[in-house]
Structure formats: structure tokens, C-alpha cells
């Protein structure tokens, strides 16, 4: 009985040791991953900042003004002034949707064959 207990304990210790060993390695691996991720995050953040700076640089007012002047022929952009504001009354109401005109003939689209109904039905409708 006692030797069985000893055996159990020894096995438990071995199992725990193996588990701890595994955990240790997993932790180290996770830390390596974390370091790699941090490096990547730092790099991405740096890139974002460069992009932001570049975006601000490309959108600087001087350059936008030059672009507007260059492309005046196509875009015709002018500085906004008071004259560009409108009254709500100046907005045109949407016109009523044009009603389809009713003509005598029934206008249909598609294959003619499918429309050829049985003869008696045609007579009934007449």
C-alpha cells in the first residue's frame, strides 16, 4: 500500500515537472512572440506617423492652392464666399414622377412565343 502511494507521488512529481517544463517553454515562446509583436507595433506606429506627416504635408494649404490653380480648367474651384449660400426656398421641390402614358396597345417585352395563350382564353378576353 505504502509503495503504491510512493509510486503515485513519484509519478505525480514527474508529471508536474513535465508540465512546469512545458509551461516554462510556452511562456518563453509567448514572450518572444510579444517582443516580435511589439517591434511590429512600433514599426507600424512609426509608419502611421510618417503617413500622417506625409498626409499633412500633401494637404498643406499652399499645395492645395497650387493644385486648384493648376486644375482650374477642369474643376473650376473658387474660394467659398457668402454668395455660395442659398436659402431653403431656393431649393426646387422634386418634380412628381412622370406618369407613364397609357396607349391602346399593350406594350410587352420578351419572347412572343410565351405570350401566346390558349385559344379559348383569347376568345374569352375578347
Partner 1 sequence: MIRTPLRPLARILKARASGENPDHIEQENLRLRREAARDGARNRAEGRLLALSLLFMAAFVVLGARMGLLAATSPLELSRGISEDISGARADIVDRHGRVLATNLATHALYAETRRMVDPVRAAHELAHIFPDIDGTRMAARFTDPNRRFIWIRTRLSPEQMQAVHDIGEPGLMFGPREMRLYPNGRMAAHVLGGASFGQQGVRAAEIIGIAGVELYHEDRLRDPDQADQPLELALDLSVQAAVTEVLEGGKHMLNARGATAVLMDVHTGEVISLVSLPDFDPNNRPPPPTEGEPADSPLFNRAVQGYYELGSVMKAFAVAQGLDMGEVTPATMIDTRGPLTFGRFRIRDFRNYGPQLSVTDVMVKSSNIGTARIMQPIGATAQREFLDRFGFLDSMPLELSEARRARPLLPDRWSELSVMTISYGHGMSTSPLALAAGYATLVNGGRKIAPTLLKQDQVQPGAQIISQRTSDQMKLMLHQVVQEGTASFARIPGYPVGGKTGSADKPGPRGGYMDDAVLATFASVFPSHAPRFALVVTLDEPVDTTGPEPRRTAGWTAVPVSAEIIRRVGPLLGLRPVSLDVANARFEQGH
Nearest to 51 by CA among 39, 63, 59: 59
| Secondary structure (3-state) at 9 | helix
Cβ closer to partner 1: 42 or 75?
Answer: 42
Cα–Cα distance for residue pair 40/45, rounded to 1 Å: 8
**Min. distance of Cβ 76 from partner 1 in angstroms?**
17
**Min. distance of Cβ 53 from partner 1 in angstroms?**
5
Cell, residue 86: 442659398
**Min. distance of Cβ 19 from partner 1 in angstroms?**
14
Cβ closer to partner 1: 22 or 65?
Answer: 65
Cβ closer to partner 1: 25 or 35?
Answer: 35
8 A C-beta contact, residue 115 and residue 106: no
Cα–Cα distance for residue pair 11/7, rounded to 1 Å: 6
Interface residues with partner 1 (CB under 8 A) are 34, 38-39, 41-42, 46, 49-50, 52-53, 55-57, 59-62, 65, 79-85
Amino acid at each position: 500500500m505504502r509503495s503504491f502511494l510512493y509510486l503515485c507521488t513519484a509519478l505525480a512529481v514527474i508529471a508536474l515537472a513535465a508540465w512546469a517544463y512545458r509551461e516554462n517553454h510556452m511562456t518563453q515562446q509567448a514572450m518572444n512572440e510579444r517582443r516580435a509583436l511589439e517591434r511590429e507595433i512600433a514599426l507600424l506606429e512609426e509608419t502611421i506617423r510618417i503617413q500622417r506627416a506625409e498626409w499633412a504635408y500633401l494637404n498643406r494649404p499652399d499645395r492645395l492652392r497650387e493644385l486648384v490653380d493648376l486644375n482650374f480648367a477642369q474643376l473650376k474651384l473658387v474660394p467659398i464666399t457668402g454668395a455660395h449660400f442659398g436659402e431653403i426656398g431656393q431649393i426646387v421641390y422634386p418634380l412628381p414622377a412622370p406618369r407613364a402614358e397609357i396607349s391602346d396597345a399593350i406594350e410587352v417585352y420578351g419572347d412572343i412565343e410565351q405570350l401566346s395563350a390558349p385559344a379559348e382564353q383569347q376568345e374569352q378576353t375578347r
